[in-house]
């Protein structure tokens, strides 16, 4: 993990598995120590980022359905259900472990919650498929908290972690798609170089791509070794030397670039009038896509001079609630280092 505070929280709770979260949840009445254990287990799964900022955009939406399109450990979802008694929540995650953890955590909210297996690129289909849950209720808000959860990053078996030697899998949904080791076994050097360059590897993208293609690593530590061999210590940035390579491969394995563009477009279609779309991104490429897609939906492609106002008939589908991205306070970053890179953007749908 990315920093001392969370490292410490994880280490003190690492013996609690998802199973134990469920067991602690169902033991009633809870003693103080089991409440503490439950909170610690939840925090070990994932500490929700920018929680009060997210809530501030949802509390005004009114009764209806909100979609948490990236449930993770269910932290944001639970906060939404607690803060807004008039909403029901449709929760989506492509990771079966996240769905299981969230189902248990959100059990006390009964029929107000439905947790389903889908990706956010499928949001239009989901709206039709889950018509019995949504009914005639308006979709008031959609949350997309992108990337991977702390649980996915820290679980040594999944191949996301730089700290544990494991087969390179990296699939958020391990039941589908191609794992990272197979991608690495097949990818050509130029495609890999371009991918690494897009993820900020800059001048070392070519050397790292060549090293990976020569060695075709199958485990996390073999991949780290392939990167370390070609990036001299004097040129290493803050953080782990292989972080960007891991991130680039994870994005490729999970088709995250397609998922993000499709997911944003689908979310804007699925939202009802006055509904809010809240998106949290964790790297600059991802945030740029969010910013551009929302700006395009706000302008409708209109290029009329500001002095004239819009005379071209473009449809301005959303209003962007804040021009610049919102970031975590220093206090939150100190409590949860993962929040350091978070960028939150919000848009409100202004046409049906």
Ligand X SMILES: C[S@@+](CC[C@H](N)C(=O)[O-])C[C@H]1O[C@@H](n2cnc3c(N)ncnc32)[C@H](O)[C@@H]1O
CA distance 351 to 349: 6
Does 119 contact ligand X by CB under 6 A?
yes
By beta carbon distance, the residue nearest ligand X is 72
Q: CB of residue 335 vs ligand X: minimum separation in angstroms?
A: 15
67 bridge partner residues: 90, 142
Largest CA distance in the chain: 65
Q: Which stretch binds ligand X (CB under 6 A): 2-10, 93-101, 133-141, 189-197?
A: 93-101
CA distance 304 to 88: 40
Q: Which stretch binds ligand X (CB under 6 A): 2-10, 26-34, 146-154, 212-220?
A: 146-154
CA distance 100 to 35: 20
Q: What is the b/e burial string over 311-346, where b = at least 16 CB atoms within 10 angstroms of the residue's CB?
A: eeeeeebbebeeeebbbbeeebbeebbbbbbbbbbb
Q: Which stretch binds ligand X (CB under 6 A): 6-14, 145-153, 183-191, 239-247?
A: 145-153
Query: Of 37, 46, 193, 250, which lies in the binding site for ligand X, with binding defined by CB under 6 A?
Result: 46
Fill in the DSSP letter of residue 30: P
Does 75 contact ligand X by CB under 6 A?
yes
Look at the alpha carbons of 44, 259, 291, 91 in this order and tell me if their dihedral is positive or negative: negative
Q: Which stretch binds ligand X (CB under 6 A): 29-37, 90-98, 132-140, 283-291?
A: 90-98
Q: Which is nearer to ligand X, 38 or 98 (CB)?
A: 98
Q: Taking phi first (over 0 means left), then psi (-120 to 50 degrees means alpha), and beta for anything else, what does residue 202 get? A: left
Q: Which is nearer to ligand X, 93 or 201 (CB)?
A: 93
User: Secondary structure of the chain: what % helix, strand, coil (to 5)?
Assistant: 55, 10, 35
CA distance 208 to 102: 38
CA distance 277 to 274: 10
Within 306-325, the residues that bind ligand X by CB under 6 A are none
Does 332 contact ligand X by CB under 6 A?
no
Q: Which is nearer to ligand X, 76 or 349 (CB)?
A: 76
Count of residues that bind ligand X according to CB under 6 A: 23
- Binding mask of the shown chain, residues 175 to 214, with x at each position contacting ligand X by CB under 6 A: ----------------------------------------
Query: Of 13, 18, 25, 70, which lies in the binding site for ligand X, with binding defined by CB under 6 A?
Result: 70
Query: Of 67, 148, 180, 347, which lies in the binding site for ligand X, with binding defined by CB under 6 A?
Result: 148
Does 98 contact ligand X by CB under 6 A?
yes
Does 259 contact ligand X by CB under 6 A?
yes
167 bridge partner residues: 219
Does 341 contact ligand X by CB under 6 A?
no
Q: Which stretch binds ligand X (CB under 6 A): 19-27, 117-125, 314-322, 340-348?
A: 117-125
Q: CB of residue 351 vs ligand X: minimum separation in angstroms?
A: 26
Query: Of 48, 64, 275, 337, which lies in the binding site for ligand X, with binding defined by CB under 6 A?
Result: 48
Neighbours of 237 (CB within 10 A): 11
Q: CB of residue 99 vs ligand X: minimum separation in angstroms?
A: 9
Query: Of 64, 91, 141, 147, which lies in the binding site for ligand X, with binding defined by CB under 6 A?
Result: 147
H helices of the chain, in order, are 4-13, 18-26, 32-45, 51-58, 75-83, 96-106, 123-129, 131-134, 150-154, 180-186, 189-198, 205-215, 220-228, 243-253, 256-270, 284-299, 330-335
Does 172 contact ligand X by CB under 6 A?
yes
Nearest to 249 by CA among 230, 223, 275, 273: 223
Does 169 contact ligand X by CB under 6 A?
no
Contact positions vs ligand X (CB under 6 A):
46, 48, 70, 72-76, 92-95, 98, 119-121, 145, 147-149, 172, 259, 263
């Amino acid at each position: 993990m990315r920093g001392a505070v969370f490292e410490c929280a994880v280490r003190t709770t690492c013996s609690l598995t998802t199973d134990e979260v469920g067991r602690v949840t169902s033991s009633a009445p809870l003693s103080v120590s089991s409440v503490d254990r439950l909170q610690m287990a939840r925090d070990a799964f994932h500490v929700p980022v920018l929680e009060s900022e997210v809530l501030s955009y949802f509390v005004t939406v009114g009764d209806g359905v909100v979609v948490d399109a990236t449930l993770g450990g269910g932290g944001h979802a639970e906060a939404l259900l607690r803060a807004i008694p008039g909403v029901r929540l449709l929760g989506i995650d492509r990771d079966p472990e996240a769905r299981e953890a969230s189902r248990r955590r959100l059990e006390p909210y009964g029929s107000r919650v439905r947790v389903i297996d889908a990706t956010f690129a499928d949001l239009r289909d989901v709206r039709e498929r889950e018509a019995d849950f949504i009914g005639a209720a308006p979709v008031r808000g959609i949350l997309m908290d992108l990337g991977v959860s702390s649980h996915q990053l820290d679980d040594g078996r999944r191949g996301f972690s730089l700290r544990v030697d494991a087969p390179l899998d990296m699939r958020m949904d391990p039941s589908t798609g191609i794992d990272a080791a197979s991608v690495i076994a097949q990818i050509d050097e130029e495609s890999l170089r371009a991918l690494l360059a897009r993820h900020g590897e800059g001048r070392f993208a070519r050397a790292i791509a060549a090293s990976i293609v020569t060695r075709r690593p199958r485990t996390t530590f073999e991949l780290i070794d392939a990167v370390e061999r070609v990036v001299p210590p004097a040129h290493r940035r803050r953080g782990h030397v292989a972080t960007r390579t891991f991130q680039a491969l994870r994005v490729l394995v999970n088709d995250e670039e397609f998922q993000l563009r499709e997911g944003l477009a689908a979310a804007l279609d699925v939202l009802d009038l006055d509904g809010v779309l809240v998106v949290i991104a964790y790297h600059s490429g991802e945030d740029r896509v969010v910013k551009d897609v929302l700006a395009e939906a706000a302008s409708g492609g209109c290029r009329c001079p500001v002095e004239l106002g819009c005379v071209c008939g473009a449809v301005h589908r959303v209003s962007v609630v804040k021009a610049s991205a919102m970031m975590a306070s220093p206090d939150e970053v100190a409590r949860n280092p993962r929040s350091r890179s978070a960028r939150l953007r919000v848009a409100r749908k202004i046409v049906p």
